[in-house]
A and B are shown apart, each in its own frame.
Chain A
Amino acid sequence: MRTRSDWRGDYLDGRTAHLRPAELRLMATGIEVTVEGQTTFWPYLELRQTQGRYAGEDVRLERGGELSEAVIVRDRDFLVSLRQVAPGLGGRLYEPGQRSLRLGLTVAAGVAVIALGVAIYLWGIPLFARAVAAQVPVAWEEQLGAAVVREVAPPKGRCTDPARQQRIEAVVSRLAAALPASVPYRFRVLVDSEDAVNAMAAPGGFIVVFRGLLDRTDSAEELAGVLAHEMQHVVHRHVTRMIVQHASTGLLLAAVTGDVTGVMAYGLESARVLGALQYGRRAEEEADRDGLRMLLAAGIDPGGMIGFFEKLASKEKAAGPTLPRYLSSHPLLGERIARLKALASARPPAPPARLLADYDWTDVRRICAGAPPR
C-alpha cells in the first residue's frame, strides 16, 4: 500500500468530553498533531496505543500521564502507514501485518489449553489428591468419619445384636488379616436398620451396611465381597481424596472459565459435578479391583462377590433402564462384573474353604430383629 502521511482524526484533551478534529502528519520520530490551528509534536516514544487491535475498533493513541490526551483515528490503515513511516517502533504499537502469526499462536494456545486441562484433570488432580490425602493424619479422618456415620446411621437406628455382630466382625478380621501391616486403620462395621440395598465407607475405617443389603446376602462370601470393596475405599482414602479433588476441580474450572457470577456459576457447578462423577467411577473401579485381590489374598472364594453383583444386576434390569455411564457415580454393574470375572480367572482358583462353614448365614439377617424399623 502507498504510504500516506496525512491523516484525519479526533483529539481529546483529557479535560473535557469535547471531540475536536485533528490533522495528523506522520514523521520519522513522531506525529505532528494539529488541532484548531495549533500544532504539537507527539514523539513515538511517548505514545501508547490503547485501542485499535480489532476490526471496527478505532485506533487510539494516548500521550501523557494518568489522565492523558488522546488522538483517535477511525481508519485502521493508519497503522499500516505508521509502520512504514517508523518501522523501528517494536512492540509499542499494534502491528497489523502480524495478524496471521498472532492467530496461529492463539490457536496453538487453544490446543495447549485443552491438552493441559485434560492432563491436569486426568492425572494432575488425582496425583495431587493422593499425595495430599496421604498426609492427612488418621486421627483427623476418624473424627470426620465418626461425624459422617452419626449423620448417615444415627445410633438409635443401628442393629447391635452382639452374637450376630460378632459373625460379621469375624469376616472383617479375616479380610483385614490379608492387608499389609502398614495399614493404620481399625475397621468398624455398623449395621443400620434402614431397608436400603447399600453399603458405604466413611473415612477412618467406618463401614455402614444397611439392612436391605444384608438381607440379600446368602452366604458369608457375598458379604465379604461387599466389605472388601468398602474396606478398599478406606485404605485408598477415597473420601479424603474426593474432598481434595473437589477443591482442585473448582480451581481448574475457575481458571478455564475466567470470572463467573450469578446464574452462570450454577452451570459451572454442574460441570464440576460431572467431573467429580468420573473420579467417583475411577474410585469404584479401584475398590472393586483391590477388593477382589484382597479376597483372594485372604483365601475367600471371589465367586461370592461376583455372584452378589450378578444378583443386584438382575434386580436392576427388572427395575428398568439405567443412567448413562457418564451420569453415574458408579460404573455400570455389567461392566464391573465382567472386570471382576476377568480378574478372578487370571488367578488359578485355590480350592477355597467356605467362610464360616459351620454357621447358617441366613441367621445373621436377624441382627435387626430387635431394632425398631425405620
Chain B
Amino acid sequence: MGDEGTTPPSRPSFFKRPSLEPEPARPTAPPSPPEHAAPSYRPAPRGPVIPPPPPPPTLPAPGSGGFDPYAQALPRTRTRLLFHGTGGSLFGIHVVNVLLTLVTLGVYYFWAKTRVRVYLMSQTELEGSRFAWHGNGRELFWGFLKACGVFGVPTVLLIAIRDLLDVPAELKYVAGILVPLVFVVVLPLAMVGARRYRLSRISWRGIRFSFRGRAADFVKLFILGSLLSSLSFGLYYPIFEVRRHQFMTEHSWFGNRRFRFDGRGIDLFWPFLVVVLLALPTFGLVLLWYLARKRRYLWDHTLAGEARFRCTVTAFGLFLLYAGNLLLLVLTLGLAWPWAKVRSVRFLLRHLSIEGPLHLDEIQQDARAGSATGEGLAGFFGAGTGFDFG
C-alpha cells in the first residue's frame, strides 16, 4: 500500500544518482559480456567501489559496463550505504499502521513496527544490494507478552508493595531494595536482547547479521560501569559509554565476519570534561558538539574486516537535524513522523562511509537465533542499541 509512482521500466530510480563521493577506478573489473550490457540490467555504475571478486565467465562485474565519470579518481576504496526511502512512502505505511493500531487498541503495534522496519531495511542499499528485514509481528507480540510476564508484572507488584499496598514495613523495605536492583539487571539484559534480536533479523545478500555476546558479561559490565560512574561523580561515564559500545560492536557479526572496535574510553574523557564545564555557559549547546564528537569517534574506530567506518557528523548538522525534526513533529502533532524518520536515516547514512576492501566474497552464512523477548523488554525502557532502524 502507499507505494511510489512507477519509474520508466528501463531505469529504476536509484540508478539515476551516482554516489556523491568520487569513485575510484576499478582496475580489476573486466568488461562485462555484451549480453549484460542491456540497459534493463545493471546499466550504470553506482556508489559501490569494491573490486569485485574474480568472476566466473558469466558473472557481470558490477558497474563495469557503460560510462564511468569517476574512473581514475581516487585510489582508495570507499563504500557508501544509500537510502532510497521517501517520507511519502513511509507515510503511506504509517497511516495504515496508525489506523489499525487505534482500531485494535494497540495490538497491531507490533505488526506495524515490523512493516516499518521491512520498509527501512529494503530501502537501504550497499554495493547494489538491498538489506532485508526478516522479523515478524507475531514474534514481537509474544516477546512483549513474555517480557510482561518475566519483568512487567513482577516489577509492578514490587512497586505496589513498596508504595501502595498495606503490608508490614519489613516487606516494604525489601521491595524498596529490590525495585532498583531489578532495573539495574533488566536494563542491560534488555539492551543485549534487543540487539541480539535485531541483528539476527537483518540480512544482506541473504547473509544474516548476528550478535553473540553473553548477556551475563554485559550485565557485569553494566553494573560495574554504573557503580564507577556514580562513585566518580559521572567522570567515568564517557569511558563506560565506550566500553558498552565496544562490547556491542565486538560481539556483532556479519555472517562469519566479526566487527571490531579499537577505540579507548579515555579518548572521550577530555571532550566529556569540556561539556561538563561549558554546559551552563552555552545553554547546553555544547552537548551537540559532544554528541557529534562521540558519534564520529565510535564509528571511526569500528572495523569490518580490513575496512574501517568513517563518520563525518558535525554538531551543526545534528542541530539542523534535531531542530528540523522537532519543528516537524510539534507543528503536525506527531503526524509528520515518517518524514522525520527518513530525515534521520538519510542523515545517518549521508555521514557514514566504509573505507577499505570489504572482501564480501569471502563471507559465509553463519546465522544465530535471537528471540524477541529482549526486544519486548527494551520496549519498557525505550533502550537504544545503536542498531535501531525503526
Binding site for B on A (CB under 8 A): 8, 12-21, 36, 50-51, 53-58, 60, 66-70, 72, 74-77, 96, 99, 102-103, 105-106, 109-110, 112-113, 116-117, 120, 251, 253, 255-268, 270-271, 274-275
Would A258 and B116 count as touching, CB distance under 8 A?
yes
A267 and B9 CA atoms in complex are apart in Å by 41
- Assembly CA distance A259 to B204 (angstroms): 24
Number of A-B contacts (CB under 8 A): 193
Given contacts A16-B365, A256-B98, A271-B329, contact A55 B384 (CB under 8 A): no
A76 with B333: CB separation less than 8 A: no
Whether the pair B3, A53 counts as a contact (CB closer than 8 A) is: yes
CB distance from A70 to the nearest CB of B (A): 6
With A76-B6, A256-B333, A275-B333 as contacts: A262 and B99 at CB distance below 8 Å: no
A21 with B58, Cβ < 8 A, contacts A8-B41, A255-B106, A271-B330 known: yes
Name the A residues within 8 Å of B4 (CB-CB).
Answer: 54-56
**Chain A nearest Cβ from B155, distance in angstroms:** 18
Which of B12, B99, B330, B341 is close to A112, meaning CB atoms less than 8 Å apart?
A: B99
The 9 closest A-B pairs by CB, nearest first: A267-B329, A257-B334, A56-B13, A12-B206, A55-B4, A106-B2, A267-B326, A17-B205, A257-B337
Please name all residues of chain B whose beta carbon is closer than 8 Å to the beta carbon of A264 when the two chains form the complex.
325-326, 329, 337, 340, 344
Interchain CB contact under 8 A, B255 and A17: yes
Q: How far is the CA of A264 from the CA of B364 in the complex (A)?
A: 38
Residues of A within 8 A of B113 (CB): 258-259
CB neighbors of A among B113-128 (8 A):
113, 116, 118-119, 122-123
Q: Which of A102, A116, A251 interacts with B1 by CB under 8 Å?
A: A102
Given contacts A50-B132, A109-B96, contact A16 B102 (CB under 8 A): no
Q: How far is the CB of A48 from chain B (nearest CB, A)?
A: 11
Q: Are A255 and B101 in contact (CB under 8 A)?
A: yes
B40 contact from A69, A75, A99, Cβ within 8 A: A75
Residues of A with C-beta under 8 A to B109:
255
Closest chain A residue, CB of each to CB of B92: A106
- Can you list 9 A-B pairs with a CB-CB distance of less than 8 A? A15-B206, A17-B207, A69-B206, A116-B103, A257-B335, A258-B97, A259-B113, A264-B340, A275-B333
Q: By DSSP majority rule, is chain A's interface helix, strand, loop, or mixed?
A: mixed
Digit string of B94-112 for contact with A (CB within 8 Å is 1, else 0)? 1111110111001001001
The answer on a CB contact under 8 Å between B6 and A57 is no
Number of interface residues of B (CB under 8 A): 76
Taking the complex as formed, is B361 at the interface, i.e. its CB lies under 8 A from any CB of chain A?
yes
Known: A17-B363, A255-B98, A258-B98. 18 other contacts (CB 8 A): A17-B207, A17-B361, A54-B122, A56-B12, A56-B14, A56-B84, A57-B84, A66-B367, A74-B42, A76-B6, A103-B2, A105-B1, A116-B103, A255-B101, A258-B112, A262-B384, A267-B328, A271-B329
Residues of A within 8 A of B12 (CB): 55-56, 58, 74-76
Contacts of A275 in B (CB 8 A): 333
Contact between B123 and A54 (Cβ–Cβ < 8 Å)? yes
Q: How far is the CB of A270 from chain B (nearest CB, A)?
A: 5
B2 nearest in chain A by CB position: A106
A111 CB to closest chain B CB (Å) equals 9
Q: Which of B5, B123, B330, B337 contacts A57 (CB 8 A)?
A: B123
* B contact residues around A50 at 8 Å (CB): 118, 122, 132
Given A56-B84, A57-B122, A257-B337: A36 touches B99 (CB 8 Å cut-off) = no
Q: Is A263 touching B130 in the complex (CB atoms < 8 A)?
A: no
Cβ A109 vs Cβ B95 within 8 A: yes
Whether A76 and B325, one on each chain, are in contact in the complex, defined by CB atoms closer than 8 angstroms, is: no
Contacting B204 at CB < 8 Å: which of A17, A18, A54, A56? A17
A17 and B206 within 8 A (CB): yes
CB neighbours of A112 from chain B (8 A): 99
Q: Which of B3, B102, B255, B330 contacts A267 (CB 8 A)?
A: B330
A283 to B109, alpha carbons, bound, how many Å? 32
In the assembled complex, the Cα of A96 lies from the Cα of B5 at a distance in Å of 11
Q: Given A54-B123, A113-B102 in contact, is the A15-B132 Cβ separation under 8 Å?
A: no
Nearest chain A residue, comparing its CB with the CB of B344: A264
Q: A15-B365, A58-B130 are in contact. Are A256 and B335 (CB under 8 A)?
A: yes
Q: CB-CB < 8 A to A261: which residues of B?
A: 382, 384, 388
Q: How far is the CB of B35 from chain A (nearest CB, A)?
A: 9
Given A109-B96, A262-B384, answer yes or no on A54-B59 (Cβ-Cβ < 8 Å): no
Given A21-B59, A55-B12, A253-B334; A116-B99 close (CB under 8 Å): yes
* C-alpha gap A102/B92 in the complex (Å): 10
**Smallest distance from the beta carbon of A119 to chain B beta carbons, Å?**
10
CA distance in complex: A102, B341 (Å) = 23
Quick one: which of B10, B334, B364, B382 has the most chain A CB within 10 A? Answer: B334
| Cα distance A57–B119 in the bound complex, in angstroms | 10
Cα A79 to Cα B77 with chains together (Å):
36
Q: Tell which of A18, A72, A268 touches B334, judged by Cβ atoms closer than 8 Å.
A: A268
Interface check B360, CB cutoff 8 A: yes
| A106–B102 touching, CB < 8 Å | no
